[in-house]
Structure 1
Amino acid sequence: MQTTTSLERAEQRAAVRRSDSTGFRTPDLFAKRPVIGVAIFMIGLAVFGILAYNVYVQGPMIQWDKQMADHMHTSALNSAGWVSAIMIAGYYIGLQGYIVLAVAMALYFLSKRYWKEFLIIAVGCIGQGGLWLLMANVFGRDRPVLDHPISKAIDYPSFPSGHTMSAVLCFGMLAYLLVPKIASRPWKAAVVVLALLLMAYIGFSRFFMGAHYLTDIVGGLALGFAWTAMVITVFEGLFRKKEENEHEQA
């Protein structure tokens, strides 16, 4: 009798997973091929480590960084008004847009009882905020000092860029959910490219406006990819293991 009940429960779980296949679920790509997630994590961490070391010891990259910031600021001051408006919009997309999109995804997953996806976005966002706060205070890098700043002064540390980290997590996760639902390969590629362009746009807009050095942006991208890959890989792996154990018990 117990065996029959366990089998029925296993069949019910399988039926639920099949019925949810049209929803926005993670494709379990990193669970099936964890080497992909681990590789992204390691590469991102390595790039961030190189930049972080230069920031910490004031290495040769820092002098080049300051020159790039000065050059970009000069270009920004001479740019057309509509260009500045587009760049300023990057601040709001990277902050308010990120919050709205993250909350919308979390509420969707919660309403559908997609616990794996809900935990990925919840832990991803909360952890990303904590990780940024920790790294920013550890390095305590000052913002670029400009003679004629375009944007208002910001008093919290510069390295790494929190906006860029948020963009990687949010738009990266959204692309990861959407791509498996798209049949056309060109459209799959278009979604991935669009997500990457949005990440780059948000990061570049912060550099353009003089709020960050270029290494802050690249560091934010690298740490954002490392953190996002780690969270997805861990939770997909844990839930896959849980499902395998339930199947064996059935």
Structure 2
Amino acid sequence: MDVPDSPTDFPTLLRALKRALKRFGAARLASGGAFGLHLTAGLSLLVAAVAIFAAIAAAMTGGRRITVLDVQLALWFNGHAHAGLTRALWLLTQLHSTPGILVLAALLGACLYARKERYWLLTLSIAIPGGMLLNVLLKYLYMRARPGFAHPIVDLHLDTYSFPSGHTASATVLYGLLAAYFLCRTRRPLARAAIVLAAALMVALVALSRMYLGAHYLSDVLAACAESCAWLAVCLTSVSSLRRRRESRGQSTHHFNDTEAD
């Protein structure tokens, strides 16, 4: 068998590689398919969120400037308490405790079931309990003590670790999932912006309530947001890929049956 002349073959191989990379890139940016744009966006969000979480965790464990800001902000909140604000944020934080989040998730699940949104229901069923478990594992990994005050605003009786914030993490998963659901149902820029802002506002309020009440530092809630964005990216991307693959197989089977009938 003749061996091809490598100098002659190299330009051909280079062109073939270039075409393959172009097809791969086009497939990653295509709106359809099981591994198209949604996968690229999901992986991008996952990588960015993990990088942000890792940076915050490294700064926290390394005693960098953010830990100084943590203490300063915690002391500022503790010294500027207001009775009305305390009551409002206490109610908000109770609503987003583990039982509260589970009740809200159950209500959302009932709505999704009634609307026959089985893939969104599957995502919810994975995202909420999985996110809670991930948060507990991270707490025991870092074992950061809660903020301590001579005169706390409220006595929270907390015996768990501080980093990252569980309330903020669960709120991020819940409202992030809800935002993703509504974003898939509108193309209007103003509506989409309002959805994102509403979800971000709810997460920010929960995070504020945890810092104000003295349950968490700033870095705790920021890390919780990053943690949950990463987890939500995994859940949304995985279930979306599953749905697209099943739909693709269903279309292929339907096409095959039509061909056989002809």
Q: TM-score, normalised by structure 1?
A: 0.80
Q: Which residue pairs with 1:156 in the alignment?
A: 160
Separation in 2, partners of 1:203, 1:159: 13
- 1:218 correspondence with 2:226: no
Q: Which residue pairs with 2:250 in the alignment?
A: 246
Which of the pair has the greater relative contact order for Cα pairs under 8 Å at 6+ separation? 1
- Structure 1 counterpart of 2:50, one-letter code: L
Let me know the Cα RMSD of the aligned residues. Answer: 2.4
Q: Deviation string for 1:223-244 (max 9, x for gaps)?
A: 1111111110111012211211
Separation in 1, partners of 2:132, 2:118: 21
Deviation at 1:184, TM superposition (A): 4.8
| Change over 3 Å in CA distance of 1:184–1:64 after alignment to 2 | closer
1:171–1:195 Cα contact (<8 Å) kept: yes
Separation in 2, partners of 1:225, 1:29: 21
1:90–1:206 Cα contact (<8 Å) kept: no
1:179–1:188 Cα contact (<8 Å) kept: yes
Q: Which residue pairs with 1:121 in the alignment?
A: 124
Q: TM-score, normalised by structure 2?
A: 0.77
Which ranges in structure 1 are unaligned for 5 or more consecutive residues?
Answer: 1-27
Q: Deviation string for 1:53-88 (max 9, x for gaps)?
A: 233343443233222211221122xx3x21212221
Deviation at 1:32, TM superposition (A): 4.1
- 1:130 correspondence with 2:130: no
Aligned 1:144-223 pairs, distance under 5 A? 144-151=147-154, 152-182=156-186, 184-223=188-227
- 1:85 correspondence with 2:87: yes
Q: Which residue pairs with 1:108 in the alignment?
A: 111
- Structure 2 counterpart of 1:146, one-letter code: F
- Structure 2 counterpart of 1:94, one-letter code: H
2:34–2:244 Cα contact (<8 Å) kept: no
Separation in 2, partners of 1:221, 1:44: 8
| Aligned partner (choices 207, 216, 241) of residue 237 of structure 1 | 241
Which ranges in structure 2 are unaligned for 5 or more consecutive residues?
Answer: 1-32, 255-262
Separation in 1, partners of 2:191, 2:34: 19
Separation in 1, partners of 2:172, 2:34: 18
Deviation at 1:34, TM superposition (A): 2.0
Separation in 2, partners of 1:113, 1:180: 15
Look at both structures and tell me which one has the larger radius of gyration over its CA atoms: 2
1:109–1:118 Cα contact (<8 Å) kept: yes
Deviation at 1:93, TM superposition (A): 2.7
Q: Percent identity?
A: 26
Separation in 1, partners of 2:71, 2:116: 48
2:169–2:227 Cα contact (<8 Å) kept: yes
Q: Which residue pairs with 1:14 in the alignment?
A: none
Q: Which residue pairs with 1:9 in the alignment?
A: none
2:43–2:233 Cα contact (<8 Å) kept: yes
Deviation at 1:114, TM superposition (A): 3.2
Deviation at 1:139, TM superposition (A): 0.7
Q: Which secondary structure state, in structure 1, belongs to the residue aligned with residue 230 of structure 2?
A: helix
Q: Deviation string for 1:134-181 (max 9, x for gaps)?
A: 001111111001011122231100000111111111111112112343
Q: Figure out how many residues of one structure are paired with residues of the other and give that number.
A: 221
